[in-house]
Amino acid sequence: MTETRSAATGADVERVAFVTGGSKGIGAATCIALAAGGHRVGVGYVTDDVGAAATVAAIIDAGGRAHAIRCDIADTDSVDAAFTALTDALGPVTVLVNNGGITVDGLVMRMKDDAWDSVLRTNLTGAFHTIRRATPAMMKARFGRIVNVSSSSGQTGMPGQANYAAAKAGLVGLTRSVARELASRGITANVVAPGPIETAMTADLADDWKARAAAQVPLGRFGTPAEVAAVIAFLCSESAAYVTGAIVPVDGGLAMGH
């Protein structure tokens, strides 16, 4: 995909960010928010060429700089190739947002091994793959921001999503271990845990289901991708230098107390 560039403004230091799952929803909103803060942004995606192109176009139209990068985070060769391509296009990655993920829902007693393995490999092991690949450049720069996008279900559990909830809970242990390992190099690692968010996926759900789901949220509504992206962008900023190993819920109070 052709990259167009212009001067980014508004950041303390212009850095290169890589956002997996950046073609739509929370990921696309995060790409746009990071670009608005002055970052050069790699828009990671697997198959959604149209969505990735739209995210890149939105950033360019706003005066930023972005590049679409195809990356299957479950595959180490794909991750390595994506980081190499992004470094060549924009520079070394020092801001990483692991937002990419999949769902293969089903009750535990009927869940096939493939459903368990594929969700864990993408949603948890995929984050390990990208963090491992990003760490050398961050250590060299003595600066890094890692944000892993979990879910309120990682703290509360969710019927029919044992694989998904387990992977999202596992991100907490991964993140806090990384936070402790890399803190001396000026690298932070944090978790953002969204609750129910208005996305293309939830838009297709029945109105009565959405009403019941919203009623469980103390604030009484679904969140928006932009609301999640704003928190992620803060954790990626210079201002968040003293925040690491944290779980930041963006869930309208749904999982408070967990």
∠ CA 72-26-127, nearest 5°, is 35
Strand order through the sheet with 66-70: 66-70, 40-45, 16-19, 93-98, 144-149, 187-194, 247-250
Q: Point out which residues pair with 193 in neighbouring strands.
A: 249
Tell me if residue 45 is catalytic: no
Cβ pair 55, 20 in contact under 8 A: no
Tokens of 252: 């309208």
Instruction: Output Rg (C-alpha) for the chain, integer angstroms.
Output: 17
How far CA 189 is from CA of 29, 94, 118, 216, 236, in Å, comes to 20, 12, 24, 30, 9
Three-state secondary-structure class, residue 132: helix
Plot region of 143 (φ>0 → left; ψ -120 to 50 → alpha; else → beta): beta
Query: Which of the following is catalytic: 164, 194, 223, 249?
Result: 164
∠ CA 21-25-30, nearest 5°, is 70
Place of tokens 């198959």: 47
List residues with catalytic annotation. 164
